[in-house]
Structure 1
């Protein structure tokens, strides 16, 4: 698979309307900078401690690059079924779910942009409370239901160095609710279109120096497409104890079972005329995804802090448990160790200096896949990945060069081991290029990072960085059970330049970031055989010729009106330009990489009364994009409207809401498969998005 690129400052078409563009840029215009400061400036809260989301947002503003924090409690004022709901309105992040509450396609800056996504999310490292759930085998989407999450950190690209992230997309860290942040009892019930139902109960509290939090969840959905039902149930719990002001610890436990039937991909004609068609459904069953972890923190006399984390991840998966010709039994068990030593208040060459040492090791101590024939019941192939690992040691420093200027530097030592071996196979498929049946390698690399952060004034901050990322293939990209051979794919590597500004003034706050990533050996996946009633879908991954990822990430919030009684009207906007291309590829020249919209614009206009009533109108617009590397066939563009209404009692003891989506009942593709060359012909590569749907919910605290 090959590639090339040329940066264009003139998008092929614009989703930014004449009404929205001035608002998107107003925060950075001379007129705005000269405007009189209004009530949305710096808000000082007295008598109440900052929330965990506010504390982490303040911490991440010290990163010389783009970051964001999402307060999940605000998302819960509507449907909060999956990562798509939480990551909406985040520029640079593409998050779409299909087939209900589980399968998500999540991409940051084009990471994993064209991988088939019914089971794993690629190109981004996911963590719970700083403990990874992403391993050498990728990320199972089971835990992306966002159960019991207080807030979510998004760290773009190499800005996720503090979590030992190797991925081009960076990291998403989900911070749990605890007995201290969410005390008391809570019950939540949601029902909606296409048989959607969700029930959630939690309890938390503080007992002496200890606290506890337990959350149980059940969800189900009949599905928009025919024969595409899903059901899941799980528990999330954590228990913390403070031994002394210097020593504290917290245990984490998550468990989830899930049965999910995916709808098949459709042609564009079917998408328009028969979007609920599902002639080739596929099923996945998770009989107990388990996460057990501990994080212990010790604070030294000089204020330095040591965080020690360890976790165990178990991701059993029966892929194709219904309908598939050759069901596959996957076992993935990871052991993770993380160490973070953080120092603040030091000096270097007479200048204030903060430094950190971060170690992360994730090892697949048991990982394999076995396939068997549904017709005969006999095993057809077994592939073993045990021993694959990702190890990262990062040294980082923040040096204050002047009162308003900081230099960020870092160096990561990366050790990657990948192992894949076909231990048994009865398949007779041809081996066209004498591919091996065993692939094993160890790669060592360095990933430096250098950034600057300049505080223009108390309101605005400039940042810029140059960084290196190393993104290894997940184990199954070497091959699994579809062919009696493996692919010797190697880590992709990228050098990224990023520059941006963030801040607030008057009624505005927001950020604007531009980045360019020169990628070598990008891991690209293609569907080489469509699923039918008699054969399973086949995919292949290879290292591409040089590619380029570049784009714009712009977010702007504006408080448009404040009433005398505290009522507000505010507007949130997010705009993303994705420009992902080959660079002088022998076969595809400068073609666009398929898989993601070139432009995405999201907005929400929200009215809130001090008495507790709230209402909002939102939209999501996405341009068309190619579904093949030859750039011969595209998805249709779409514009989706939505609305929310709700009431939260002043006592916050109860809340009720209604969440309406796709108000115009538009038929669109939420995601696609990727073809090598569609030849300009319609083909079954489109996942249909939900038609008009309504979710209502009620929540109680007692």
Structure 2
């Protein structure tokens, strides 16, 4: 069976050279040997380059019949290392950032399109080293530290099937460096505009059958907009041990603290007149987010049972505490603790005489502790609790069976079926607002659903692969979305929250050859009960903003995701590269009784990123980059828009050897005034509404790394 991979192509080249050398050597000896002389051929050594973990991941993801990509940690660290930079140049991905802190809002194919900016990210399953960060309450963004990553896998939509991720947005898997792949010690420092600095010390190595990697980071930023100070510190580590050639395990530890002030949204007029200001309500309320000790511990053990089968077991425990608005009139606290387990069995054999790869997986995350408390600050400074929600016992449970069948040497049929249990156990012990008639103070939701998947890949030529798939996805509501304030609304959609489901058709291609790497995916999803969030009332000096989660009427998500990296010129070890990523988003209601076919707000229809870079053989590089977004609506009624924008940037780098690396990253060179994120309202009625969060002005960040 022929399967094309970059390593296979390299091996064929070496084999061709070896055969040629062997024939030449045989001919030479034939001319000079006599009948009494024995012929001895020279030894020819055939070497095959060992793939890096990033390259191995790219090869593996080529087998997926849909949109998937890999972000190299080495490429990421060529410039500023902020969480939003992980997702740069990724088709289908749109990132919003408020105030320059770590609380980014990531939307893939519109999943989680309207989850609150800076809150627990929704609509995407996040993992670290294959262990889930996302639980019944969502994911905690402060653990998205980019320094110390080997690579990041971005699997869009149901293409994240292997991780038990069945959301419309798919999955993001952050893969850490290890002592096996990154021995030695690395010192890194970067700093620049708006009082920003970030430092790292990391060390790894191998001791006998064990290896280790420890990564410590800290950062601080005074901020561009008023009241956007941010600081964070923490560490990540992993320790591996090989008991035998067939049995190995790895332990993961991760801890992080993150604190940032929260600035208020502005009107378009305020944004134009003074983009550094904040709203009066936030200035008075002193809103902030304090993640004072997020913790993760987990392990993965792999047993290679025989040449054809393997078993992998993973377990993780997470503690995610948080304080909000500590000094305001309505402070609150929350505490989530999750326990996750996963079991994956893989086997290679024959089915109907055809090559077959089968995977059987079980993925479960249980919220062992979950609560939110909200208080009212009295005139004498004392606190009175006004709201208390408990979420203990909620869980997500997935059983998945998948198969890849080689119909021909170049055509593979991939099928799968998942059974998903969503359980939500929510108790409203105390309510700040009256619960609407017909709604209970408790939620006991327990439902099983099926999600099938069918896909095909065709390796038309060694350079061109075509793919197509049809799948079903499911997004459950987060536990904290079940809240009395959810019911205290004037929306027409008010009802108990249900799982969001979607049927998706996708097709596209991958093309890789000398000097180019391209991808294209086109998809259409029919979504039912889409989980949406809307701001009904803005924050004031004494109250937080009133937001509501609800299931919308049927919607359509469709789009185009295109990526291309190609070498425009090469000579003498120098080269000029062009990297591009384009996303077209068309998300809209489907015959809604109020909004008809209105577009869903919050995400631009067109989003484009490009970088033109010169790389010199001696280690110098220089590049110009562009990020452009079209305008988009900020309300469901489609009466008011955020303006489009185009941002120019530049990056210089110098890596003279494997020890030293330097860079200068320049952003927003034209000092463009724009909104890097927006809130969403129900109906702006065409009026200038305070929903815009200003993006950073012109900025420069310089960095240096030393490895020994």
* Equivalent residue number for residue 625 of structure 1: 632
Of 473, 477, 482, which residue of structure 2 is paired with 1:473? 477
* Equivalent residue number for residue 497 of structure 1: 505
- Paired residues for 1:223-262 under 5 Å: 223-262=223-262
Deviations 1:227-286 (A, max 9, x none): 210111001011000010110000000000111112211111111111111131520111
Of 371, 375, 378, which residue of structure 2 is paired with 1:372? 375
The answer to whether the aligner puts 1:282 opposite 2:282 as a matched pair is no
The answer to whether the 8 A contact 2:434-2:484 is kept is no
* Equivalent residue number for residue 460 of structure 1: 464
Query: CA–CA distance in 2 between the matches of 1:483 and 1:113?
Result: 21
Of 638, 650, 660, which residue of structure 1 is paired with 2:645? 638
Deviations 1:285-337 (A, max 9, x none): 111100000000000123311110000011001122233x2111101000000
- Paired residues for 1:399-410 under 5 Å: 399-410=405-416
- Paired residues for 1:345-384 under 5 Å: 346-375=349-378, 376-384=382-390
The answer to whether the 8 A contact 1:114-1:674 is kept is yes
Q: CA deviation at 1:484?
A: 8.3
TM-score, length-scaled by structure 2: 0.91
Query: CA–CA distance in 1 between the matches of 2:447 and 2:574?
Result: 58
The answer to whether the aligner puts 1:451 opposite 2:455 as a matched pair is yes
- Paired residues for 1:107-256 under 5 Å: 107-256=107-256
* Equivalent residue number for residue 78 of structure 1: 79
The answer to whether the 8 A contact 1:101-1:145 is kept is no
Q: CA deviation at 1:367?
A: 0.3
Higher relative contact order (CA 8 A, sep 6+): 1
Count of residues in Structure 1 that have an aligned counterpart in Structure 2: 655
Deviations 1:364-400 (A, max 9, x none): 0100111111224111111001111000000000001
The answer to whether the 8 A contact 1:383-1:480 is kept is no
* Equivalent residue number for residue 55 of structure 1: 56
Query: CA–CA distance in 2 between the matches of 1:437 and 1:471?
Result: 23
Q: CA deviation at 1:487?
A: 6.3
Of 504, 512, 522, which residue of structure 2 is paired with 1:514? 522
Across the aligned residues of Structure 1 and Structure 2, the Cα RMSD in angstroms comes to 1.6
The answer to whether the 8 A contact 2:436-2:487 is kept is no
The answer to whether the 8 A contact 2:674-2:695 is kept is yes
Deviations 1:634-675 (A, max 9, x none): 00000000000011122x111111000000000111111110
- Paired residues for 1:606-625 under 5 Å: 606-625=613-632
1:340–1:371 CA distance, 2 compared to 1 (3 A): same
Query: CA–CA distance in 1 between the matches of 2:681 and 2:656?
Result: 51
Q: CA deviation at 1:107?
A: 0.6
* Equivalent residue number for residue 660 of structure 2: 654
1:269–1:676 CA distance, 2 compared to 1 (3 A): same
Q: CA deviation at 1:96?
A: 2.9
Query: CA–CA distance in 2 between the matches of 1:130 and 1:622?
Result: 32
- Paired residues for 1:683-694 under 5 Å: 683-694=689-700
Of 489, 492, 496, which residue of structure 2 is paired with 1:488? 496
Query: CA–CA distance in 1 between the matches of 2:617 and 2:655?
Result: 10
Query: CA–CA distance in 1 between the matches of 2:436 and 2:241?
Result: 59
Partner-residue secondary structure (3-state), 2:407: strand
Deviations 1:15-42 (A, max 9, x none): xxxxxxxxxxxxxxxxxxxxxxxxxx97
Partner-residue secondary structure (3-state), 2:632: coil
* Equivalent residue number for residue 3 of structure 2: none
Query: CA–CA distance in 1 between the matches of 2:95 and 2:678?
Result: 13
Larger Rg: 2
Q: CA deviation at 1:481?
A: 7.1
Of 577, 597, 600, which residue of structure 2 is paired with 1:570? 577
The answer to whether the 8 A contact 2:435-2:484 is kept is no
1:103–1:648 CA distance, 2 compared to 1 (3 A): same
Deviating more after overlay: 92-101 vs 212-221? 92-101
The answer to whether the aligner puts 1:296 opposite 2:297 as a matched pair is no
Partner-residue secondary structure (3-state), 1:178: coil
Query: CA–CA distance in 2 between the matches of 1:374 and 1:343?
Result: 59
Partner-residue secondary structure (3-state), 1:316: strand
Deviating more after overlay: 46-55 vs 629-638? 46-55
1:482–1:473 CA distance, 2 compared to 1 (3 A): closer
Q: CA deviation at 1:65?
A: 0.9
Structure 1 unaligned runs (5+)?
1-40
Structure 2 unaligned runs (5+)?
1-8, 15-46
* Equivalent residue number for residue 335 of structure 2: 331
Query: CA–CA distance in 1 between the matches of 2:467 and 2:682?
Result: 39
The answer to whether the 8 A contact 1:115-1:674 is kept is no
Deviations 1:455-488 (A, max 9, x none): 1111100000000011100111111678889962
Q: CA deviation at 1:437?
A: 1.1
Query: CA–CA distance in 2 between the matches of 1:124 and 1:666?
Result: 31
The answer to whether the 8 A contact 1:659-1:696 is kept is yes
Partner-residue secondary structure (3-state), 1:179: coil
The answer to whether the 8 A contact 2:98-2:118 is kept is no
Query: CA–CA distance in 1 between the matches of 2:436 and 2:362?
Result: 41
Query: CA–CA distance in 2 between the matches of 1:391 and 1:432?
Result: 31
Query: CA–CA distance in 1 between the matches of 2:114 and 2:170?
Result: 17
Query: CA–CA distance in 1 between the matches of 2:495 and 2:425?
Result: 11
Deviations 1:98-132 (A, max 9, x none): 22231101010001111212221110000011100
Query: Which portions of structure 1, spanning 4 or more consecutive aligned residues, are displaced by more than 6 angstroms?
Result: 41-45, 480-487
Deviations 1:120-169 (A, max 9, x none): 11100000111000000001111112232110001110010100013110
* Equivalent residue number for residue 673 of structure 1: 679
The answer to whether the aligner puts 1:305 opposite 2:306 as a matched pair is no
TM-score, length-scaled by structure 1: 0.91
Partner-residue secondary structure (3-state), 1:73: helix
1:42–1:156 CA distance, 2 compared to 1 (3 A): farther
Partner-residue secondary structure (3-state), 1:78: coil
Query: CA–CA distance in 2 between the matches of 1:615 and 1:597?
Result: 29
The answer to whether the 8 A contact 1:383-1:481 is kept is no
* Equivalent residue number for residue 102 of structure 1: 102
The answer to whether the aligner puts 1:412 opposite 2:443 as a matched pair is no
Q: CA deviation at 1:48?
A: 3.9
The answer to whether the 8 A contact 2:414-2:456 is kept is yes
Deviations 1:329-374 (A, max 9, x none): 1010000001111112x11111110000011000001001111112
Partner-residue secondary structure (3-state), 1:300: strand
Query: CA–CA distance in 2 between the matches of 1:581 and 1:574?
Result: 23
Deviating more after overlay: 381-390 vs 273-282? 273-282
